[in-house]
Structure 1
Amino acid sequence: MDKKTYYVTVNTGEVLDSKENINYDFEIMADQEELDQLQELFEETDNTSQNSYGTSYVPWRVYYNNEANEDYDYYLTEVYRMIHKLGTQETRKHIESMHILENGI
């Protein structure tokens, strides 16, 4: 499959094929299958984010001792791992500078 350039905004989970009129975080090169995988990771991140939000009101639950938060962290890390894999040289360098993938790329 042919790879195209896409522009990714992690906070909103957007992946667009044009950088016109948007602020984007990262530039990637992906084929349709890779793009679908990234979209699925964003969906899982969103789902787990909603689950962890429901537990944020419980003051005695520590963030790191909460399965919903662990799931969210896992999927968000996988999003960054996929963006790193598909990213341009600048994108990969930026993600590496964030130290978010310390357990391997």
Structure 2
Amino acid sequence: MPQTYYVSISSRTIESNPSRAEQLTVEATEEELQILRRKLDRVEQDLDKTSGRAMVPYKSAERDAAEGAYGDDLIDLYAYVYRIGTPQTRSHIDSMSILPKLTGQNTDLPGYQ
């Protein structure tokens, strides 16, 4: 049976009670909660890797594999939160326009016919 949880992507936390305005509300089973925790942990690990590059002023982020992994994992995390989120959470993520595949953006471009 799904339970309500409050997720903060920026602080990478899951709580049983709301405490921050930035939290997204999800309805998750125990299995979904474990998947969510793994995705949050992956983003945390990616962030640790990318922070090392910040200390090297001449290294470009555009060619940094860790930066790409962080972006991909962050989008994956938002997609999962979207999937298990409440209607308000989905609406908020839609308003961010970060999941074009889910929101149908760019469907007027070639290849979508």
State the match for 1:42 in structure 2: 40
CA drift of 1:11 comes to: 1.0
Aligned equivalents of 2:61 and 2:99: distance in 1? 20
The aligned length equals: 101
CA drift of 1:65 comes to: 1.6
State the match for 1:9 in structure 2: 8
State the match for 2:110 in structure 1: none
Overall identity of the aligned pairs, in %:
26
CA drift of 1:8 comes to: 0.8
State the match for 2:98 in structure 1: 100
CA drift of 1:101 comes to: 1.0
Which ranges in structure 2 are unaligned for 5 or more consecutive residues?
103-113
Aligned equivalents of 1:61 and 1:100: distance in 2? 26
Letter in 2 for 1:5: T
TM-score scaled by structure 1? 0.90
Aligned equivalents of 1:101 and 1:65: distance in 2? 23
Letter in 2 for 1:57: M
- RMSD (CA atoms): 1.1
Written as runs of structure 1 = structure 2, the 5 A alignment for 1:1-105 is 2-19=1-18, 22-23=19-20, 24-102=22-100, 104-105=101-102
Which ranges in structure 1 are unaligned for 5 or more consecutive residues?
none
Letter in 2 for 1:99: S
